[in-house]
Amino acid sequence: MYKHILLAADGSENAIRAAKEAIKIATCFDGMIEVVYVADFEKSKSDVLHSSSSEALELQRRKKIAPVEQLLREANVTYKVKILRGTPGPEIVRYANEQQVELVVIGSRGLNGLQEMVLGSVSHKVMKRVNCPALIVK
Amino acid sequence: MQSLKQQWFGNVRGDILSGIVVALALIPEAIAFSIIAGVDPMVGLYASFIIAVIIAFAGGRPGMISAATGAMALVIAPLVRDYGLQYLFAATILTGFIQILLGILKIAKLMKFIPNAVMLGFVNSLAILIFMAQVPHFIGISTMTYVFVALTLILVYTLPRFIKVIPAPLIAIVLLSVIAIYSGVELRTIGDLGTITQTLPTFIIPDVPFNLETLRIILPVSISLAIVGLLESLLTSQIVDDMTGTESNKNREARGQGIANVINGFFGGMAGCAMIGQSVINVKSGGRGRLSTLIAGLFLIFLIMVLGELVVKIPMPVLVGIMVMVSIGTFDWSSFKYLVKAPRTDAIVMLTTVVIVVWTHDLSKGVIAGVILSAVFFVVKISSVKIKQEGNRYFVSGQLFFASTDSFVDYFKYNEINRTKIQLDFSNCRIWDESGVGALVKVQELLREKGIDVDVAELDAPSKELVSKLQGI
């Protein structure tokens, strides 16, 4: 039974595909989806410099997950949104394990291809370290 | 906001570890910034120790790291060159008092009026100046100098992928110093540029004449330092706020910076402020509370007491490599995209700020110029009123005030209107002052003279109130 599903969202196409799969599972089990977005430590300086206020920055981050939220609303799935701060991979793992979610759904590739080449993919790291099953969506 | 106890002891383990990491990362920077300022490394090291310790108690943003910084060193350099060290201490103390005063006057509110374009110009020109300050230390000295700068850069960018706990610059320093010493390569060292004394700072009264002449020399520098220090500190506190998802007391931070600089000056340190790079390192290493800042300061001075004689053996090219890394990290690389995508005027403000700073070597001058320029652009932008005609309805949009009345009046003065009755729609226009009301009255009379009947429609409540109040007189 997957009652509590964590959906990692980063504003990318893959996250939207991941959302669609998460919805399928959630509707099967009548589960709740928790949409998690990680505000990356590395981008904090640039984000602050390019936004006019902390409220504007918060809005920009909410906007990144807006397409996913819309899908969830249309599918009539119970969901909540959580914005975390840290390094995306480890932060998602920490939160998933702490909240004891039953399934993690994550897109296979985020926004930054170059970073992934150098640092390895976030989804791979998450899959290896979470205590629950993980679904990586292509 | 958290309780004071929470701010100190809410994260003891994380704070101690991150404080140690920051202390290690601070040493090369404090030395390099001393060299930029043209003072002995001890001046920057003492400053970093004292500021960090005082800010731990007096600051408004727990977890933020303050010490000797590049931005302040750049402002300090000309003063030290022309008048010497004692004037620097006096200027540092005065800077502190100005910052305390600004903090009491709630300077943080004013920060909101500094546009993004100016802040981007600030960090970018800071990065450029830090880089430029390194050039004399590696161009045209020797081939080995280039080799060691390159090796340092390779190490600091590749090591973090494998070793996450110890700061990469520190590993680079230790490794390359050992290689340089045992291979006997001819390289300039920190010892060639200054001395390290293994003593704690002591209380001093700056040895300057206490007269107006001294004040004339240090006041302009102190004002610049106060502005630059507060700007970088408040920017850094916003970044730490964002990273930790918490809030901080910006005015308390401003006062704290001031208190730290006053004490710092009396103990032979150079003026400092918060550091973006080190604060990010602190938060990433798990630091959240005041304890992390205190530990950073204490551990830094402990290391200097113990390892002082080794520090002078560090080769200059390694320090230069680390500073190149710092300048690359300080630069906002998305600014290039910003130049293309942002409104023209914002791009011009950013470039102007950078050019003026690089030209004058004074960050405060660039910031002031940038703020004035963007204020001018803002007034120009909002001081044009647009009018659109649909049938006999004229839609006015914009802000009607003393600077925009001309464009409003001129439209009706110079455009042929072949109607006997028109309506002015004010639903997208607000009247702000006497000049605005005057312009409206003038237009009404102008049209009446031409035999056109005018009806003013859709005035919003504040505008209506203003019109009836002023016309009633």
Q: Can you tell me the distance from the alpha carbon of A22 to that of A135, in angstroms, rounded to the nearest whole number?
A: 9
pLDDT digits (tens, 9 = 90+) for B268-279: 999 999 999 999
Which chain B residue shows the shortest CA-CA distance from A57?
A: B242
Per-residue tokens: B385: 């009123």
- Confidence check: pLDDT of B473 > 70: no
pLDDT digits (tens, 9 = 90+) for B168-187: 898 999 999 999 999 988 88
At B204, give phi and psi (nearest 5°). Answer: -135, 155
Local structure of B248: helix, strand or coil: coil
- Among the partner-chain residues B161, B239, B338, the one whose CB lies closest to the CB of A48 is B239
**What percent of chain A clears pLDDT 90, i.e. is strictly above it?**
57
Local structure of B342: helix, strand or coil: coil
DSSP-H helix ranges across B197-289: 212-244, 250-266, 276-284
Q: What is the pLDDT of residue A124?
A: 81
User: Taking CB atoms and an 8 Å limit, are A48 and B280 in contact across chains?
Assistant: no
Per-residue tokens: B437: 């009301």
- Which CATH number fits the domain that encloses residue A9? 3.40.50.620
User: Taking CB atoms and an 8 Å limit, are A52 and B116 in contact across chains?
Assistant: yes
Number of domains making up chain A: 1
Q: What is the pLDDT of residue A113?
A: 61
Looking at residue B315, what DSSP letter applies?
B
User: Taking CB atoms and an 8 Å limit, are B242 and A39 in contact across chains?
Assistant: yes
Alpha carbon of A41: minimum distance to chain B alpha carbons (Å): 6
- Among the partner-chain residues A41, A48, A83, the one whose CB lies closest to the CB of B283 is A41
Q: State how beta strands A4-8 and A103-107 pair.
A: parallel
pLDDT digits (tens, 9 = 90+) for A67-125: 999 999 999 999 999 999 998 889 999 999 999 999 999 988 655 666 666 656 778 88
DSSP-H helix ranges across B10-84: 12-37, 41-58, 70-83
User: Taking CB atoms and an 8 Å limit, are A50 and B116 in contact across chains?
Assistant: yes
Band of residue B309 on the pLDDT scale cut at 50, 70, 90: confident
- Confidence check: pLDDT of B49 > 90: yes
Question: Which domain, by its residues, includes A67?
Answer: 4-137
Alpha carbon of A118: minimum distance to chain B alpha carbons (Å): 9
Q: What is the pLDDT of residue B270?
A: 97
Is 0.95 topped by the overall pTM? Answer: no
* Residue of B243, B244, B248, B333 to mutate, testing the A interface (most A Cβ within 10 Å of its Cβ): B243
At B151, give phi and psi (nearest 5°). Answer: -60, -45
A-to-B residue pairs, Cβ atoms closer than 8 angstroms = 47
Cβ–Cβ < 8 Å for B455, B423: yes
C-alpha torsion B247→B252→B253→B257, nearest 10: -170
Contacts of A48 in chain B (CB under 8 A): 235, 238-239, 242
- Among the partner-chain residues B161, B242, B244, the one whose CB lies closest to the CB of A48 is B242
Q: Is the dihedral of CA B363, B368, B371, B376 positive or negative?
A: negative
As a CATH number, domain B383-472 is 3.30.750.24
Cβ–Cβ < 8 Å for B44, B68: yes
Q: Can you tell me the distance from the alpha carbon of B238 to that of A69, in angstroms, rounded to the nearest whole number?
A: 28
pLDDT digits (tens, 9 = 90+) for B357-397: 999 999 999 999 999 999 999 988 888 888 888 888 899 99
- Residue type present at position B119: M
Band of residue B324 on the pLDDT scale cut at 50, 70, 90: very high
Contacts of A57 in chain B (CB under 8 A): 242
User: Taking CB atoms and an 8 Å limit, are B334 and A50 in contact across chains?
Assistant: yes
Q: For helices B250-266 and B41-58, what crossing angle results, to 10°?
A: 140
Per-residue tokens: B93: 């103390």
ipTM metric: 0.87
- Return the residue matching tokens 């099967």: A28
Band of residue B1 on the pLDDT scale cut at 50, 70, 90: low
Cβ–Cβ < 8 Å for B437, B470: yes
Q: Can you tell me the distance from the alpha carbon of B93 to that of B104, in angstroms, rounded to the nearest whole number?
A: 17
| Least confident window among B211-220, B324-333, B433-442 | B433-442
- Among the partner-chain residues B239, B241, B245, the one whose CB lies closest to the CB of A45 is B239
Q: Can you tell me the distance from the alpha carbon of B235 to that of B111, in angstroms, rounded to the nearest whole number?
A: 9
Local structure of B455: helix, strand or coil: strand
- Among the partner-chain residues B115, B119, B245, the one whose CB lies closest to the CB of A85 is B245
Nearest to B287 by CA among B274, B275, B278, B276: B278
Alpha carbon of B174: minimum distance to chain A alpha carbons (Å): 26
Residues 6+ away with beta carbon under 8 Å from B370: B115, B117, B118, B121, B122, B349, B350, B352, B353, B356
User: Taking CB atoms and an 8 Å limit, are A118 and B239 in contact across chains?
Assistant: no
Q: Can you tell me the distance from the alpha carbon of B133 to that of A54, in angstroms, rounded to the nearest whole number?
A: 34
Put simply, whether B338 touches A (Cβ < 8 Å) is yes
pLDDT digits (tens, 9 = 90+) for B135-172: 999 898 889 999 999 999 999 999 988 887 888 898 99
Mean per-residue pLDDT over chain B, rounded: 92
- Among the partner-chain residues A39, A47, A49, the one whose CB lies closest to the CB of B119 is A49
Domain ranges in chain B are 4-334, 383-472
Cβ–Cβ < 8 Å for B58, B100: no
Cβ–Cβ < 8 Å for B52, B172: no
